[in-house]
Amino acid sequence: MHSELKLTSIGISYLDQARKWTFFLSIIGFIATAFIVIIALFFGSIMASLNEFSGGMSGAVSSGMITVIYLIIGIVYFFISLYLYRFSVRTKAAIHEQDSAQLEDGLKNLKSYWKLTGIITLVGIAVYAVALVLMLIGGMAMFAMS
């Protein structure tokens, strides 16, 4: 049996409120992405300047690695913001034009946002788990050496 889902005016109101917040968050996300990329591109120069004042040694490899990591974070954050932005814009159009296709496309972007957020969460948990295991191994090695 196939039944069609219909939204009430209250459901549409909730979607409209959600899309306003996702629009705001996406704009903030785009701004944050720009800052992340700027920091990534100028990190080597910043570290070299700090190194002159501190008298320490700054490795080109470490600053290059941090630049790459920040660029990757910037790219990921850009896509997170883009999915929220597309959800907001398409949902707004769907509400104003009563267009189900626009709403479907908006919801597809919301699904992509949550999928990417879930993947990032899983990667973060895996990194923390590996770090914990390495710390335990290092701690046991230090204990064995003493």
pLDDT of residue 46: 76
Helices (runs of H) and strands (runs of E) counted in the chain: 3, 0
pTM of the model: 0.81
Estimate the crossing angle of helix 60-97 against helix 9-54, to 10 degrees. 160
Q: Give 63's pLDDT tier (boundaries 50, 70, 90).
A: confident
- Tens of pLDDT, residue by residue over 90-141, are 999 999 999 999 999 999 999 999 999 999 999 999 999 999 999 999 999 9
Q: Give 1's pLDDT tier (boundaries 50, 70, 90).
A: low
